[in-house]
Amino acid sequence: MAVDADLVPARRTRLRSRLSVLGEHDFRWFFAGYATSLFGSSMAPVAVAFAVLDGGGSGTDLGWVMAARILPIVLVMLAGGVVADRLGSRRVMLAADVLRCGVQGVFAAALAVGHAPVWAMVGLVAVWGLGEGVFLPALGALVPGLVARQESLADANALLGLARSVATVAGPALAGVLVAWSGPASVLLVDAVTYGVGVLALARLVVAGLAVAAPAEPDASDSMLADLREGWSEFRSRPWLWVTTVQMAFFNLLVWAPFLVLGPLTAQRGLGGARAWGLVMGLYGAGAVLGGLVMLGRRPARPLAVATVATLGWALPSAALATGAPLLWTAAAALVAGAGSAVCGALYETTMQRWVPGDVLARVTAFGGLGAFVLGPLGLAAAGPLADRVGAGAVLGFGAVWQLAAGVLVLAVREVRCAGWDSPGRASGGGAG
C-alpha cells in the first residue's frame, strides 16, 4: 500500500509536468480556440456532402465540390507562407479565420433559406479552401512563439496533434447526428461559430509571433518571387527536410490514397462492409489519440530517427488488407498506424520549428506541406483504375512494401538517423550531430 500511495503523487507530478505548457497564457488561449475550430472543420465535410446529395446532386457534382476545396489550398499555400513571414503569422491566421467564419455563415444561411445550386457551393467551398491554404503555413510558424521554453515545444505540438486526432474521430460522428436531426445548415452554422471562437482566441494572444519571426516591414523592392526563392533555398539546404518531404509525397501517392479508395472496397467484399471499415478508421483515429498522449513529456534523443521508425507502421493496414487478414488484425494494424502518425507528426513539427529560422519558417512549412500533398490527388484518381487492371491486393501490397523500403532508405540518410534536438539541420552546417 505504501508503494501505491507513493506512486499516485509521482504520476500526478509527471502529468502536471507534461501539461505545464497549458499554463502559458498564449498557448492556452490558442489551444482552446484551435481545438474548437478543429471540431467545426472536421464536421463541415459531412454537411457539405449531404447538402449536395440532398439537393439532388450526383456523385460527379460532389466530386466537383470537394475538389473546389483542395485546389485553392494547393494554389495559395506558397503565397500564404510568404505573406505569413512578411506580416506575421497571427495576423494572417486572424484574417483566415474571419474569412472562413464568414463563408461558412453564408453557406449555412443559403442552405437554411433554400437549396444552393452546385455552382454556388463550389464557389463557397473554394473560398473556404482559400482560407485554409493561407492558414496552414502560418500555423507552423506561430507555435514556437506561443511557448516560453523550447523544452515545451514538443509538448505543445503533441497537444495540438492530440486535438486534431480527437476532432477527426469525434467531429464526423457528431456531424452525422446533427445532419440527421436538423440538416446540413445547422452543422455549417456550428462550424462558423467555431471559427469565431478561433478569432477571439487569436485576438487574446499577447506575444504571438514576436518570438518566432518579428517580421520587419518589407522593402518595396522585395518581391514575392524573391521571398519564394529564399524559402526554397532554406528548404533545399536541409537534406533531412526534403528527404522526408519526398517520403511523404510518395506515401500519399502509393500508400494512403490507395488505402482510402480501395480500403472500403476491400471491406465491402470481405471484412463486413461499412461497419467493419468504420471500425478500422475509428481505431486509426484512436491510435492517433493514443500516440499524442504517449508523446506528452517525451523527447527522444534522435527525434527524426524515431519519427521515421514510426512511419514504418503505416505499411501495416495496407498489408493487412492486401493479404486478406481478419478484421481484428486489420483494425489492430490501423491502431498502430494511427499511433505512428501522431508520433511522427509531433516530432517532425517540433524539429522543423527548432531548426528553421523563424523569419522563413512559414515559407519552409509551405514548401514542405505542398510537396507532401501534391501527389495525393493523383493517387486518389489512379487507385481505382489501377486496381481494375492488377487487383486491389496488388496495389495495396505494393504500397505496404514501398512504405517499409522508403522508411529504411530515409533512415540511411545521416541527417535523419543521427540528428539530435540541437542539430543545425543544414547541408552547409555539417548535418547531423
Q: From residue 165, how far is each of 142, 160, 162, 281 by CA, in Å?
A: 20, 9, 5, 12
In degrees, rounded to 5, the angle at the alpha carbon of residue 23 between the alpha carbons of residues 19 and 29 is 105
Tally the residues of the chain: 433
Q: How many CB atoms lie within 10 A of CB 221?
A: 6
- Residue 269 has which C-alpha cell? 467484399
Question: What's the rounded Cα separation, in Å, for the pair 182 and 206?
Answer: 39
Can you give the pTM of this predicted structure? 0.74
Q: From residue 122, how far is each of 77, 156, 195 by CA, in Å?
A: 19, 35, 20
Question: What's the rounded Cα separation, in Å, for the pair 49 and 118?
Answer: 11
Range 406-413 contact pairs with CB under 8 angstroms and sequence separation of 24 or more: 406/247, 406/250, 406/251, 406/311, 407/247, 407/308, 407/309, 407/311, 407/312, 407/315, 410/243, 410/244, 410/247, 410/308, 410/311, 411/305, 411/308, 411/309, 413/239, 413/240, 413/243
- List, in order of start, the domains of the chain with CATH numbers: 1-156+164-217 (1.20.1250.20), 219-427 (1.20.1250.20)
Provide CB contacts within 8 A for 268, sequence distance 6+. Answer: 274, 277
CA-nearest of 395, 281, 405 to 333 is 281
Is residue 311 a contact partner of residue 348, using CB atoms and an 8 Å limit?
Answer: no
Q: What DSSP state is assigned to residue 418?
A: S
Taking only the tens of pLDDT, the chain with its 433 residues reads 444 554 445 445 554 556 667 777 888 899 899 999 998 888 888 788 788 877 777 656 766 777 778 788 888 888 888 888 888 888 899 999 999 999 999 999 999 888 788 888 889 999 999 999 889 888 878 888 787 766 667 778 778 888 888 888 788 778 878 888 888 899 999 999 999 999 999 988 875 444 444 444 555 345 778 878 888 888 888 888 888 899 999 998 899 888 877 777 787 777 777 677 777 877 888 888 888 888 777 777 888 888 999 999 999 999 999 998 888 899 899 999 999 988 888 888 888 877 887 778 888 888 888 888 788 778 877 777 888 888 888 999 999 999 999 999 999 988 887 767 665 544 444 333 3
Q: What is the pLDDT of residue 296?
A: 76
Q: What is the pLDDT of residue 43?
A: 84
